[in-house]
Chain A
């Protein structure tokens, strides 16, 4: 049996605010497309089965596992990765809080954590620690033990609230 070379299909989508048009093999995942084709390597691949959360990106504003989405499924949609969120300053409070609290060690899970934390904080309130832990239930971190991450997200949420109140 031989495997035919997969045909390419056109794909147009918006990534971090820029319109991107490429020909892609239909089997390419969004994670592989972002990493290999667009060199947006902050989106990491840890399990390729939606279990670890390292590949989370925003698809039309909602966190999705880029390893479980084919690139062609994002046709016409808006993808935002950590690179884009950082560039527009959307993660500044989270970045500062993670840094101050040392809420990362090897950093491989961090982009997925930041994407998920960003979506959680977009709700606009200050989630309690149980809610934060629950929200992170699909983000695997082998280094930190999670507590510092929970602390950092809580701190960033409070900072955001104080700023909006102030």
Chain B
């Protein structure tokens, strides 16, 4: 029933149909397909899980069956005697090689977390924790032998929910801790209590956000290859952040940094999952040292569910104060978020909550704000940063309050937002939580969304269908996204995570271009956009630009790809490097042509007259002369056809972006099932380098947000056991449930860089679940039901409807 009507599928706008500002050159701004996708389409991808090294061994792990228990005995004899087994290692064996780590950041005052080791010494603290490692000639042999390891446990009390952990007499997550709070933070601006006391209207909500996880299709994978002869470590690692891991492996295993190489080839999805320290991954380094051979570990899907970081898991109590005209005056929010038994290393488990309390209310003018965060330990899988860290929670809280306020005041959702969004002419300005905004475009996005959705028609259709018992809902949600972070994100907290990136660009003897750069590729198109930027700012066709990423041995040091920094920071790095190289090329060309560099230009691989554009010399000829006939150059010619450039953002601490989503759903009140009819996004990521790739990033992000809204949840029982840790039980969004997604853009470039690009990777995820929540509540409004929890499962919808 409730099949979509014909008019639910209007013509889809083409990716290039949106408003893009003109760009210099023919590559930046153009919807060009990714050159490196052809290899993947030919079945020639080379993921770590595909790699095989000579004499390579395979690791498997014995995992804890209890969420909290003391290890009383470990029996390894049978496993060691099993066929094909080379090595069986315990926590003690690896603790002799690897120093412990602590997942705190200095700028999070008062934060605490217990030290961690690859494998535990005395206690297991979540169900699924790796306890013993078995290394064998094949994965099957390692798994067979792992079954022969005997571990005796004595069960300990489990912290499996927030209330248990926050009770004054709760058992402590770690010896010596005064409580189970990892981090507490309060942000307060203005006279919050006075604002609420004086408000004409106060709306409030208790909201819950399920714990979910990344489910990258390629699970975590690495091969550690330690060569004792040179004390050299090579790690083929499916990661976003090779340099971060180079540093960590070197420091924790006592190796010189220059002897640690981390190579990230094709990576089968990451989304923030593959930049954290995982215990098995750290163990594999030590296992290779102990075995003296390469050791491979690929988490299988069941292992991924209990060991990949989880995310979200927030309980938020929030209220908003408004005046009689529907102007928002104040918001107060308390966020309690449940993490794992320790804070994740090196980025911690507190950043998400911190961003929740700092992003609530961010699109709106506010006189007063209070955000109160408690990050609470649990005996569950560790949590940390996953795509759109904190944004979906902050957005859903804010936008749910806005819809409640609109309902209270009898205003349309567009109307109440129009009254409260920060006006487009108010910049620069700051949020109530202290985020400094250079320039955003909320009002323009709101207006554009109304047109894109054909909002008035949808409302008319909704009324008509309601009369026939069909419950459609329309929800919108505005957001602010954090991109291009400076060292304010991690560096100031003492983490050795680079906020800068580096590029080396060289002209080859054939006049082609080789760009090695520290930002990395996981399919979002990093290499493609870097190629486009280099092509335009150097002045060559993109086909001759080879972009190389993902190898600490061959690329300059840099932060790589996370928090939407690939285009904004990596792109600016490439741009400045390309300009520097162009100047060098023109100097050599001028020497050859006995001209002035300023009278020449490089266009499409040809040195041309700057005025008039007449071709003078090919880049290939400049290169040939520079490399092979330098004797013919005038004395003193400085032919530097390779340049290096590093760039760190130094203006605003973050380049904020903004946008707004719309979601159109139909709820079946009999079954609780929701059909997502269509989703809409208007976003502003600054200058768009490749609209095709931006749109697909946004679409992918939306679907991850819709997954959180309707399907995805790591469900635990009271003993801390994960109940749905497989792809048959944990629901991910699939093609048949997902809608087509209409996208439009505003372009407000940042002036902090010449490129003007900001990030777009989180924009889809940031507001999709909020828009979906508002849409479902809009559909249910005439039935008197309100949902304040995601995922919005059929059972929860039916419960809200009073069905049981």
| A residues adjacent to B (C-beta < 8 A) | 1-3, 5, 25, 27, 35, 39, 41-42, 44-49, 51-52, 54, 81-83, 86, 91, 95, 98-102, 104-111, 114, 129, 132-134, 136-150
Given contacts A46-B301, A52-B217, whether A98 and B37 have CB atoms under 8 Å apart is yes
Do the beta carbons of A114 and B738 come within 8 Å of each other? no
* Chain A CB within 8 A of B798 CB: no
> In the complex, which residues of chain B have a beta carbon less than 8 angstroms from the beta carbon of A47?
301, 726-728
* Chain A CB within 8 A of B115 CB: no
> In the complex, which residues of chain B have a beta carbon less than 8 angstroms from the beta carbon of A102?
33-34, 37, 525, 692-693, 696
> What is the interface size of chain B, counting residues whose CB is below 8 A from a CB of the partner?
61
Cβ-defined partner of B217 (8 Å) among A114, A142, A147: A142
The SS class assigned to the A binding surface is loop
> In the complex, which residues of chain B have a beta carbon less than 8 angstroms from the beta carbon of A145?
696, 699-703, 738, 741, 764
Q: What is the CA–CA distance of A82 and B699 in the complex, to the nearest angstrom?
A: 26
The residue on B at minimum CB distance from A136 is B735
The SS class assigned to the B binding surface is loop
> In the complex, which residues of chain A have a beta carbon less than 8 angstroms from the beta carbon of B301?
46-49, 52
Do the beta carbons of B45 and A146 come within 8 Å of each other? no
* Chain A CB within 8 A of B412 CB: no
Cβ-defined partner of B735 (8 Å) among A52, A106, A150: A150
Given contacts A102-B696, A107-B266, whether A140 and B732 have CB atoms under 8 Å apart is yes
> In the complex, which residues of chain B have a beta carbon less than 8 angstroms from the beta carbon of A142?
214-217, 269, 271, 700, 704, 732
Supply 14 further A-B pairs (C-beta < 8 A) apart from A44-B217, A46-B301: A2-B78, A45-B49, A46-B218, A47-B301, A54-B217, A95-B41, A108-B216, A133-B735, A134-B735, A139-B735, A145-B696, A145-B700, A146-B738, A148-B696
> In the complex, which residues of chain B have a beta carbon less than 8 angstroms from the beta carbon of A1?
148
Do the beta carbons of B45 and A108 come within 8 Å of each other? yes
Q: What is the CA–CA distance of A114 and B267 in the complex, to the nearest angstrom?
A: 19
Show 14 residue pairs from A and B whose CB-CB distance is below 8 angstroms, ordered by the A residue. Answer: A41-B46, A42-B43, A46-B217, A86-B43, A95-B41, A105-B696, A108-B47, A108-B217, A110-B41, A110-B45, A142-B216, A142-B217, A142-B271, A145-B741
| B residues adjacent to A (C-beta < 8 A) | 9, 33-34, 37-38, 40-47, 49-50, 52, 78, 82-83, 140, 144, 147-148, 214-219, 266-271, 300-301, 522-525, 692-693, 696, 699-704, 726-728, 732, 734-736, 738, 740-741, 764
Q: Which 5 A-B pairs have the closest CB atoms?
A: A42-B43, A107-B40, A105-B523, A108-B268, A106-B523
> In the complex, which residues of chain B have a beta carbon less than 8 angstroms from the beta carbon of A105?
269, 522-525, 696, 700
> In the complex, which residues of chain A have a beta carbon less than 8 angstroms from the beta carbon of B764?
145
> In the complex, which residues of chain A have a beta carbon less than 8 angstroms from the beta carbon of B735?
132-134, 136-137, 139, 141, 146, 149-150
Q: How far is the CB of B618 from chain A (nearest CB, A)?
A: 29
Q: What is the CA–CA distance of A82 and B45 in the complex, to the nearest angstrom?
A: 11
Do the beta carbons of B43 and A82 come within 8 Å of each other? yes
> In the complex, which residues of chain B have a beta carbon less than 8 angstroms from the beta carbon of A91?
41
Do the beta carbons of B45 and A42 come within 8 Å of each other? yes
> In the complex, which residues of chain B have a beta carbon less than 8 angstroms from the beta carbon of A141?
217, 735
Q: How far is the CB of A158 from chain B (nearest CB, A)?
A: 15
Cβ-defined partner of A147 (8 Å) among B40, B727, B740: B740
> In the complex, which residues of chain A have a beta carbon less than 8 angstroms from the beta carbon of B148?
1-3
> In the complex, which residues of chain B have a beta carbon less than 8 angstroms from the beta carbon of A45?
49
The residue on A at minimum CB distance from B50 is A41
Most chain B beta carbons < 10 A, residue from A39, A108, A142: A142
Do the beta carbons of A3 and B147 come within 8 Å of each other? yes
Q: How far is the CB of A79 from chain B (nearest CB, A)?
A: 14
Q: What is the CA–CA distance of A140 and B736 in the complex, to the nearest angstrom?
A: 11
